[in-house]
Amino acid sequence: MNNGIIILDFGSQYNQLIARRIRELGVYSEVLPFNTSLEDILARNPSGIILSGGPSSVNAEDAHLVDKALFEKGIPVLGICYGMQLTTHLLGGKVKKGEKGEYGKAKFEIQKSNSLLSGISRFSTVWMSHFDEVETAPEGFAINGTTDVISAISDESKKIYCVQFHPEVSHTEEGARMIENFVFNICKAPKDWKLTNYIDKTVAEIKEKVGDQKVILGLSGGVDSSVAAVLIHKAIGNQLQCIFVDTGLLRKDEAEKVMKNYGEHFHLNIKLIDAKERFMAKLKGVSDPEEKRKIIGNEFVVVFDEESHKIEGAKFLAQGTIYPDVIESQSVKGPSAVIKSHHNVGGLPEEMDFELLEPLRELFKDEVRKVGEELGIPHHLVHRHPFPGPGLGIRILGDIDEEKVKILQEADDIFIEELYKNNLYEKVSQAFVVLLPVKSVGVMGDERTYEYTAVVRSANTTDFMTATFSKFPWEFLENISNRIINEVKGINRIAYDISSKPPATIEWE
Distances (CA, A) of 5 to 30, 362, 406: 7, 14, 50
Q: Which of residues 345-364 bind ligand XMP (CB under 6 A)?
A: 345
Is position 29 annotated in a ligand binding site? no
Q: Does 324 bind ligand XMP (CB under 6 A)?
A: no
Q: How far is the CB of 176 from ligand XMP (least distance, A)?
A: 28
Closer Cβ to ligand XMP, 97 or 342, answer by number = 342
Q: Does the active-site annotation cover 162?
A: no
Q: Does 460 bind ligand XMP (CB under 6 A)?
A: no
The DSSP element (H or E) to which 484 belongs, if any, is: helix 474-487
Q: Does 218 bind ligand XMP (CB under 6 A)?
A: no
Cβ(440)–Cβ(492) below 8 Å: yes
Question: Between β-strands 160-163 and 77-80, what pairing exists: parallel, antiparallel or unpaired?
Answer: parallel
> Quick one: three-class SS letters along 425-469?
HHHCCEEEEEEEEEEEEEEECCEEEEEEEEEEEEEECCCCCCEEE
Q: How many residues bind ligand XMP (CB under 6 A)?
A: 14
Is position 226 annotated in a ligand binding site? yes
Q: Does 173 bind ligand XMP (CB under 6 A)?
A: no
Q: Does the active-site annotation cover 81?
A: yes
Among 107, 342, 383, 421, binds ligand XMP (CB under 6 A): 342
> Quick one: three-class SS letters along 268-314?
CEEEEEECHHHHHHHHCCCCCHHHHHHHHHHHHHHHHHHHHHHCCCE
Cβ(218)–Cβ(346) below 8 Å: yes
Q: How far is the CB of 398 from ligand XMP (least distance, A)?
A: 17
Among 131, 464, 476, 496, binds ligand XMP (CB under 6 A): 464
Active-site option among 30, 168, 254, 307: 168
Q: Does 230 bind ligand XMP (CB under 6 A)?
A: no
Strands ordered across the beta sheet of 77-80: 29-33, 5-9, 48-51, 77-80, 160-163, 150-155, 142-146, 94-110, 123-136
Q: Does 114 bind ligand XMP (CB under 6 A)?
A: no
Closer Cβ to ligand XMP, 89 or 293, answer by number = 293
Distance of CA 429 to the CA centre of its chain: 12
Distances (CA, A) of 10 to 194, 339, 457: 28, 15, 35
Query: Residue 385, Cβ neighbours under 10 Å: how many?
Result: 17
Query: What is the amino acid identity at position 50?
Result: I
Query: Residue 296, Cβ neighbours under 10 Å: how many?
Result: 24
Closer Cβ to ligand XMP, 104 or 502, answer by number = 502
Q: Does 506 bind ligand XMP (CB under 6 A)?
A: yes
Q: Does 489 bind ligand XMP (CB under 6 A)?
A: no
Active-site option among 166, 187, 242, 418: 166
Q: Does 344 bind ligand XMP (CB under 6 A)?
A: yes
Q: Does 293 bind ligand XMP (CB under 6 A)?
A: yes
Among 148, 399, 417, 507, binds ligand XMP (CB under 6 A): 507
Q: Which of residues 124-153 bind ligand XMP (CB under 6 A)?
A: none
DSSP conformation letters of 354-419: -EEE-TTTT--HHHHHHHHHHTT--HHHHTPPP--TTGGGGTB-SS--HHHHHHHHHHHHHHHHHH
Q: How far is the CB of 501 from ligand XMP (least distance, A)?
A: 5
CB-based contacts of 236: which residues, under 8 Å, 6+ apart?
A: 206, 207, 210, 215
Is position 47 annotated in a ligand binding site? no
Closer Cβ to ligand XMP, 85 or 458, answer by number = 458
Determine the interface stretch with ligand XMP among 147-155, 156-164, 400-408, 500-508 (rule: CB under 6 A).
500-508
Query: What is the amino acid identity at position 144?
Result: N
Q: Which residues pair with 134 in a beta bridge?
A: 95
Q: How far is the CB of 432 from ligand XMP (least distance, A)?
A: 8
DSSP 3-state assignment of 140?
coil
Active-site option among 30, 64, 81, 299: 81
Site string for ligand XMP, 373-402 (x = CB under 6 A): -------------x-xxx------------
Residue ranges for the binding site? 220-226
Interface residues with ligand XMP (CB under 6 A) are 293, 342, 344-345, 386, 388-390, 430, 464, 501, 505-507
Which residues belong to the annotated binding site for ATP?
220-226
Q: Which residues are catalytic?
A: 81, 166, 168
